[in-house]
Amino acid sequence: MNVKQQQVYRSGFVAIIGAPNVGKSTLLNKLLGQKLSITSKKPQTTRDRILGIANQPEAQFIFLDTPGIHQAHKPLNQRIVEVALSTLGDVDLILMLVDASKPDPVSENLLLKAVKNQNNPVVLALNKTDLIPKPALLTQIEKWHRSHDFKAIVPVSALTGDQLENLCDAMATSLPDGPPLFPDSMLTDMPERFITAEMIREKAFRLTGQEIPYSVAVTVDTFKEQKKGKLVSIQATIHVEQDSQKGIIIGKKGSKLKQIGKAARKEIERMVGTKVYLKLFVRVQKNWTKDTKALRRFGY
Ligand code: GDP
Ligand code: MG
């Protein structure tokens, strides 16, 4: 076994929260760098919640939009905290950003209140450190240490890029172990259907204890928005090569398929930002990997 395979890889969904003008967009752009993967064509729709994906050698961060929190034209008020509360619960990690050069106790306390209501790990980044002297920064770090059990407190400058590596390390450490949720090869122009198929495939693979080959294919047969965008209804098929694999995926009285569906649905809901109705089918298609026609149909 080579050394690389033994290293822990981590991946997960990250929400960046902070008051207007603290530097969220600047930071996100820096973190995504050249690897800006998914550009949101319809930023106002709930279906484009993935802002971008940043790949590090040992971690993948999928940044999710948190509706309300980033809207600079609205004051940070109680309503926004409510929205934050309802969406933050789903992410693997919260990255809270404050402007160290211009502390704002009112909005900072609201954010603290929001994150204290969650169980998710929170990394705090103190931004714009290029604007303040070191002693002032140390005082702030001490204050923040007392205010919440942050996974890490990292002073950064999103503008100059200072300390961003430390920030990425701190974030990676706080994410769950797991393979990249989005393989490198599909990081450009991913249709949601394809991402959905990938999420189902990954869950099927993980939840069967890898008893099925990684080459199992998933097709998304329907992907419909319903109830005025409040629900997405999806039908998908898991294609396997052998009857025995079908049995493994379905499980006793359908229990395994139910488990796969539930896990995939939760992840798809995080991506699309609405409730999802997911119906899964399992189909045996012998030798599909060798059949180029089938391959094309699966989009490979
Ligand atoms: P957002 O509203 O939280 O998305 O904030 P923006 O990313 O739009 O940044 C607001 C302003 O702060 C912009 O003028 C940025 O150039 C500036 N800014 C962001 N990060 C830094 C930083 O680390 N240092 C300095 N000096 N300015 C920054
Ligand atoms: Mg912004």
Per-residue pLDDT reduced to its tens digit, 152-184: 999 999 999 999 999 999 999 999 888 777 765
Q: Which residues pair with 16 in a beta bridge?
A: 95
Confidence of residue 280 (pLDDT cuts 50, 70, 90): very high
pLDDT at 192: 72
Q: Which ligand is nearest to the CA of 97?
A: 1
Verify whether ligand 1 is closer than 6 Å to residue 131 (CB atom). Answer: yes
Per-residue pLDDT reduced to its tens digit, 85-137: 556 767 889 999 999 999 999 889 888 988 888 888 999 999 999 999 999 99
Q: Is the pLDDT at 70 greater than 50, yes or no?
A: no
Per-residue pLDDT reduced to its tens digit, 223-278: 888 887 788 899 998 988 888 889 999 999 999 999 999 999 998 888 777 899 99
**Superfamily for domain range 2-172:** P-loop containing nucleotide triphosphate hydrolases (3.40.50.300)
Domain ranges of the chain: 2-172, 192-297
Say how many Å lie between the CA of residue 279 and the centre of ligand 2: 37
Fold for 192-297, please state it. GMP Synthetase; Chain A, domain 3 (3.30.300)
Atom of ligand 1 nearest to the CA of 97: 3
Sign of CA dihedral 180, 181, 183, 187: negative
Least-confidence region, from 39-43, 94-98, 111-115, 216-220: 39-43
Residues with CB under 5 A from ligand 2 (ion): 24-25
**Residue 26: exposure state from Cβ atoms within 10 A (0-12, 13-18, ≥19):** middle
Q: Phi and psi at residue 228, in whole multiples of 5°?
A: 55, 45
Q: Which residues pair with 188 in a beta bridge?
A: none
Instruction: Give the residue whose CA is nearest to atom 2 of ligand 1.
Output: 21
Confidence of residue 74 (pLDDT cuts 50, 70, 90): very low
Instruction: Tell me, yes or no, if the two domains 2-172 and 192-297 fold the same way.
Output: no
pLDDT at 157: 97
Q: Which residue has the tokens 């098929």?
A: 237
